[in-house]
Structure 1
């Protein structure tokens, strides 16, 4: 049941870019291969160039490579079944929204713009053959305590990033989730009004 042999491309209702249809969020990461630094930097560069309101760029990342104390600290902040699989990812990235600037001026759009930056990161990573899985089940206080994190940075999520692993290494419950059909609600239910 290797995920590398599964067809995971979405069956979209209208054509979209191949990289978007093919992108998915695995839980099986290769626990032994190192991260390709060029691909990691390309993903972070894509995030850097995401659009933001007034060009405020209200996102910050703590990037931790597997085998480091920082990776272990971020893994320790994960909650629930995320702890079962995310540690195998080559990189864990804690994502923060800068909800106010250094002068205390609020950025009410910060989490929206962070989402755009992470989307750019995800698409670039997938285009380069890496995989991303975002997690909201995190202990935010533990992320807030990571090195370099200022009080005005709000912890939002953790991103597992790396090369695809073998789903058979996961628990039976997670294996079932890994190979379950990809589904989304119909487009007509997503667009609530259109003129």
Structure 2
């Protein structure tokens, strides 16, 4: 586990206790540029994603894993928005998450994006268990990233930075301030939707 948890404590403030893997997970931007993620750790993240639920067990998620220092990593990094590039370059790996939105029979898979999101959620919790930090990014050039992937039948959804959390001071502003800012969420009550009662019920 990162030694910075004692200096950057961003555990969620919850009304009931949560599992620590969930309560202590947050999206860091400060990554140790010297850290190297192991093959075993990357395999564990992908295994966690592999066992996520999906509609009719279609398993529409696909991943491209690139390590810092490789040509592939540089190609993926270059598709990111400029602000993301400034800190994501230090992550040990960049994982492209894509989805197959049509099946092998050509039929639409309407839940593919939702299912891929569940897979990434599993990946992020496993990363926390491995002592790693992840940050999911939607700021990238979709067309360029599509050309980087050696697959024509997938839709890129997100790029996930994976690495070891580092000191916020290594970041330029406004990112350094965001790293230590309080985490804010809507209350559970604000998330609940009313259900329309049946007439005559």
59, 64, 71: which is aligned to 1:69? 71
Residue in 1 that maps onto 2:179: 178
47, 50, 75: which is aligned to 1:48? 50
Rounded to whole Å, the distance in 2 between the matches of 1:73 and 1:24 is 26
Q: Does 1:190 align with 2:184?
A: no
Q: Which has the larger radius of gyration?
A: 2
* Residue aligned with 1:192, SS: coil
Instruction: Using structure 2 for the length normalisation, give the TM-score.
Output: 0.92
104, 107, 116: which is aligned to 1:105? 107
Query: 1:123 offset after TM fit, Å?
Result: 0.2
Query: 1:34 offset after TM fit, Å?
Result: 1.1
On the 8 A contact 1:3/1:167 being kept in 2, the answer is no
Query: 1:147 offset after TM fit, Å?
Result: 3.8
Rounded to whole Å, the distance in 2 between the matches of 1:47 and 1:110 is 14
22, 32, 45: which is aligned to 1:20? 22
Deviations 1:125-161 (A, max 9, x none): 10110111000111111111124222x2111110000
Distance 1:193 1:15, change over 3 A: farther
Query: 1:80 offset after TM fit, Å?
Result: 3.5
Moved over 4 A (4+): none
Rounded to whole Å, the distance in 1 between the matches of 2:188 and 2:83 is 30
Q: Does 1:140 align with 2:164?
A: no
On the 8 A contact 1:101/1:107 being kept in 2, the answer is yes
Residue in 1 that maps onto 2:131: 129
Residue in 2 that maps onto 1:90: 92
* Residue aligned with 1:123, SS: helix
* Residue aligned with 2:174, SS: helix
Give aligned pairs, total.
Answer: 193
CA RMSD of superposed structures (Å): 1.5
Query: 1:3 offset after TM fit, Å?
Result: 5.1
Query: 1:15 offset after TM fit, Å?
Result: 1.7
**Unpaired runs of 5+ in structure 2?**
none
